[in-house]
Structures are given as structure tokens and as C-alpha cells.
């Protein structure tokens, strides 16, 4: 009998999340989203490394890789997968239950949730000609202690995503309080100037994604030098090419931002190809 459940909580299809769970009550936890191919997580060592690091930043003990792999096997392997079958796994790890109040208990039992969803059907146009972006009015606040991690407090991203409902806009560029480009609501950003590939400095805010990390490590194979800098939208719009990236679609060229448009280029396509090697 095929289960209709699409998530596991602490390895169980029947475990309920308590209203006293600190992830539910305060966003006290982290998450990560990744592609599952043929029932196995893509780029798992990097994703797990980030899970451990992000948990460590906020003082949560990360579940073992063995426990999470066991969850993947329960959720994704019983389906009689066809070759190159793709799906999405979202991992949520919270501090666990606690009493009312912000102070966490001295000892907690972390909660883990693994959610299974279908792979999104992205428009082919996004891969061929690129995407249009909105410049969000909602700003990201500086918080160096949380900068880089994928924590559960995403209200800034939610408010930013509420700013448009135009289906021709794929994502929104998020700036910080100083009007520096940081990221998109669900992606990281790169801009090419000649043979230099620029990406925003995330030491004050933003999420340092796994695909961003991978692109930075393979840039040399594209004959590009990586530079991590602070820059504004005006500089971004002066780039020879620009792209956004995340773990689900790889990389998309930026086709348009406000009045600025780019012709289809090779950067995103070459990056996607390099990420597959």
C-alpha cells in the first residue's frame, strides 16, 4: 500500500508537531531545500555540511546524516522510481519543545521534519532567454550573527514576495538598509564584469546557498575570477551578464531589471553545465 503522507516528523508518519515547539512558536530553527534524484539527495555532503554549520550557529544539535538518510529512504525510495526521477526534499530542524518565553531550555530534543514535494515545472523560457526581476522595497536588516544561515525567520522574504503578482517576474532582488544588493527572495546573485564574477558580500545579512558555494568553487573552470563585494543595483545593471541561482534550477540569466535588459548570453547555461560535471 502506497502511503499518501508527504512528510516525516522525527522519522514517523504519525508524529505531530507540538504548539510548544520552538520552531513553530518562534522560528527557532533552520531549513534546507534540495533536489532528490532517483531517491537520493543531490550534493548531499555540501547540504549536510551547511545543516550542521547553520544548526551550530544558533546552538542546535544537528541530527546525524544517518538519521536523515533513513528519512529519505522512507519518503523517496518506495515509489518505484524511474530513471532520473526528480523530487524535492525540504529539511526543517528546530530546537524542539520549550516553555513559554524566549529563553531556551538548558536541554532540548531537536525536532526534524523532512517534507517530500514534486519538482517544480519551470518554464523553458527561463533557461533559454532568462528571467525578469523585481527590485523589492522590503529591506533586509543587518544581523551579522544570523548572516549566511537559512533560519526559519523568513518574514522579510515573505513581505518582499508579496510585492508583485506578475507571472512574468521570476523573483525579486532584496537590498539591505544601505541599498546594497544582497540576494533574491529565493536565490543568490552573480554578475559578470569581463572575466570577473561578482557576488554580494553576505557578512551582514542574506543566505549563503549551496549552489552559490558551488559556483564560487567552479568559477575557474569557466575562466572566471570570483570577487565577493558590496555593490548596488546600479552597478548590477551595468554588468556584462548577470544570473541568479539556487539548488532547484541551478542558474538562470537575468534578462531584465526595471529599464535594463540583457540579450541572451552564455553565462547561466555554461554555469548549469559546469554544475552537472
pLDDT for the residue 83: 57
pLDDT for the residue 80: 54
Query: What is the distance between the alpha carbons of residues 46 and 106, in angstroms, rounded to a whole number?
Result: 30
pLDDT in tens, 199-241: 999 999 999 999 999 999 999 999 999 999 999 999 999 999 9
CA 121, 119, 162, 272 torsion-angle sign:
negative
Kindly tell me if the per-residue pLDDT of 277 is higher than 90: no
Cα radius of gyration (the chain): 19
- Cα 209 to Cα 30, 143, 169, 269: the distances in Å are 13, 17, 21, 19
Look up residue 231 and give its three cell numbers.
Answer: 555593490
Q: pLDDT band at residue 179, thresholds of 50, 70 and 90? A: very high
Beta bridge partners of 19: none
Phi-psi region of 256 (alpha: psi -120 to 50; beta: other; left: phi over 0): beta
| Phi (first) and psi of residue 133, to 5 degrees | -120, 145
Domains of the chain: residue spans and CATH: 7-118 (3.30.470.10), 124-276 (3.20.10.10)
> What is the overall mean pLDDT for the chain?
94
Q: pLDDT band at residue 106, thresholds of 50, 70 and 90? A: confident
Kindly tell me if the per-residue pLDDT of 2 is higher than 90: no
Q: Tell how strand 40-41 and strand 29-37 pair up.
A: antiparallel
pLDDT in tens, 111-159: 999 999 999 999 999 999 999 999 999 999 999 999 999 999 999 999 9
pLDDT for the residue 108: 87
pLDDT for the residue 3: 46
pLDDT for the residue 79: 58
Look up residue 252 and give its three cell numbers.
Answer: 538562470
Distance of CA 261 to the CA centre of its chain: 25
Query: What's the longest Cα–Cα distance across the chain?
Result: 57
Confirm whether pTM is higher than 0.85: yes
pLDDT for the residue 1: 36
pLDDT for the residue 4: 44
Write out the H or E segment, with its range, that includes residue 155. helix 155-161
Under DSSP, is residue 189 helix (H, G, I), strand (E, B) or coil? strand
Q: 33 with 90: CB under 8 angstroms?
A: yes
pLDDT in tens, 32-76: 999 999 999 999 999 999 999 999 999 999 999 999 999 999 999
Query: What is the distance between the alpha carbons of residues 272 and 34, in angstroms, rounded to a whole number?
Result: 16
CA 203, 207, 209, 215 torsion-angle sign:
negative
Task: Over range 168-189, report the average pLDDT.
Answer: 98
Query: Where would I find the beta strands (DSSP E) of the chain?
Result: 7-9, 29-37, 40-41, 86-94, 111-118, 131-140, 169-176, 181-184, 188-193, 196-200, 225-229, 241-246, 250-257, 260-261
pLDDT in tens, 82-102: 556 899 999 999 999 998 899
How many Cβ atoms sit within 10 Å of the Cβ of residue 218? 15
pLDDT in tens, 161-172: 999 999 999 999
Amino acid at each position: 500500500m502506497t502511503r499518501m503522507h508527504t512528510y516525516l516528523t522525527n522519522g514517523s508518519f504519525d508524529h505531530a508537531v507540538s504548539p510548544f515547539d520552538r520552531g513553530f512558536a518562534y522560528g527557532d530553527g533552520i531549513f534546507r531545500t534540495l533536489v532528490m534524484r532517483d531517491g537520493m539527495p543531490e550534493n548531499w555532503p555540501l547540504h549536510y555540511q551547511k545543516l550542521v554549520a547553520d544548526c551550530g550557529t544558533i546552538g542546535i544539535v544537528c541530527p546525524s546524516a544517518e538519521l536523515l538518510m533513513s528519512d529519505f529512504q522512507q519518503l523517496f525510495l518506495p515509489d518505484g522510481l524511474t530513471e532520473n526521477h526528480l523530487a524535492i526534499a525540504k529539511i526543517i530542524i528546530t530546537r524542539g519543545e520549550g516553555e513559554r518565553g524566549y529563553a531556551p531550555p538548558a536541554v532540548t530534543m531537536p525536532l526534524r521534519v523532512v517534507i517530500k514535494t514534486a519538482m517544480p515545472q519551470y518554464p523553458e523560457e527561463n533557461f533559454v532567454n532568462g528571467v525578469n526581476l523585481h527590485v523589492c522595497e522590503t529591506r533586509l536588516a543587518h544581523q551579522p550573527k544570523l548572516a549566511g544561515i537559512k533560519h526559519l525567520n523568513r518574514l522579510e522574504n515573505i513581505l518582499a514576495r508579496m510585492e508583485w503578482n506578475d507571472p512574468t517576474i521570476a523573483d525579486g532582488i532584496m537590498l539591505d538598509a544601505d541599498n546594497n544588493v544582497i540576494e533574491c527572495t529565493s536565490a543568490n546573485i552573480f554578475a559578470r564584469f569581463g572575466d570577473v564574477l561578482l557576488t554580494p558580500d553576505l557578512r551582514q545579512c542574506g543566505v549563503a546557498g549551496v549552489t552559490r558555494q558551488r559556483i564560487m568553487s567552479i568559477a575557474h573552470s569557466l575562466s572566471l575570477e570570483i570577487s565577493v563585494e558590496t555593490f548596488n543595483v546600479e552597478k548590477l545593471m551595468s554588468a556584462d551578464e548577470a544570473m541568479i541561482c539556487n539548488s532547484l534550477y541551478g542558474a538562470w540569466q537575468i534578462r531584465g531589471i526595471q529599464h535594463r535588459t540583457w540579450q541572451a548570453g552564455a553565462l547561466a547555461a555554461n554555469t548549469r553545465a559546469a554544475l552537472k560535471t
